[in-house]
Amino acid sequence: MNLKDKICLITGSANGIGEKCAFKFAEYGARLILIDQDEKITSISKLLEKKYNREVKFIVGDITSKKVLNLMETTIINDFKRIDILFNNAGVIRLSDDISKLEEKDWDLQVNVNLKSIYLVLQKIIPIMKNQNFGNILNTASMTGSVVGMSGLAGYCASKGGVIGLTKCVALELAKYNIRCNAVSPGAIDTDFYNKEFLKNNPNNELESGKKYMESVIPFGRYGNADDIANVALFLASELSGYMTGQNIIVDGGYSTQ
């Protein structure tokens, strides 16, 4: 797989899956634009430039803000003149006992970041891709919401299910412009993404107990890791998947096949 000199934009790239994908894409030759509201994106970008001798631009800020979206567009047009790969990866998760206990602000946050941000980014990127008659869009969905439900995650499930519908629609609308759009749906992945949210209201021993149970019902008998997702994302970003569009690849150790 080769991403040599491909211009790749990754949102939500300061931690977990996004961070791992940034390193993986750089390893295979991509030039990167990284966006995250975590200041950590600054040090990650500098490390990537040094380690892989790749051009890396970064933007610190909320991907749903007009300021960040405009800066993203300007960076692409002025610094790179094109965009080959867009990876919509930014995401948040909030827990509640059930949907009646889910606060409206937490519903809005998940829908805005997990789903609306993709719409907002596409509004800026699609005209550029149409003009160049080429593009590759990858969206992070989730096993949870795209193929199974999960108690306590109503807002997350709703937003991630929406990502799948949006992915299929965009794939159909843009195929005539040689632009493809696919999704990757991680299952239970051993990052801090879910853990930090769970530990806000629960003790660590309950988290460990829950993780052990989850491992027991995953056919592979283990949590996935960020590399498991980054490897699939690399395939979707490369031309090895050049005849795929509108698809959702589920990477969950077999959980959702049961």
Catalytic residue numbers?
156
**Assigned token pair, 99:** 């949907």
| Dist. CA 123–CA 186, nearest whole Å | 25
Which residues have C-beta within 8 Å of that of residue 42, sequence separation ≥ 6? 58, 60
Q: Distance of CA 81 to CAs 72, 74, 135, 157, Å? A: 12, 10, 13, 36
| Dist. CA 103–CA 37, nearest whole Å | 23
CA 95, 147, 24, 136 dihedral sign is negative
| CA proximity to 237, closest of 21, 16, 17, 74 | 21
The phi-psi region of residue 110 (left if phi > 0; otherwise alpha if psi is between -120 and 50; otherwise beta) is alpha
The phi-psi region of residue 178 (left if phi > 0; otherwise alpha if psi is between -120 and 50; otherwise beta) is left
Give the Cα-Cα-Cα angle 227, 46, 32 (nearest 5 degrees). Answer: 60
Q: Provide the 10 A C-beta neighbour count for residue 131.
A: 11
CA 176, 143, 29, 119 dihedral sign is positive
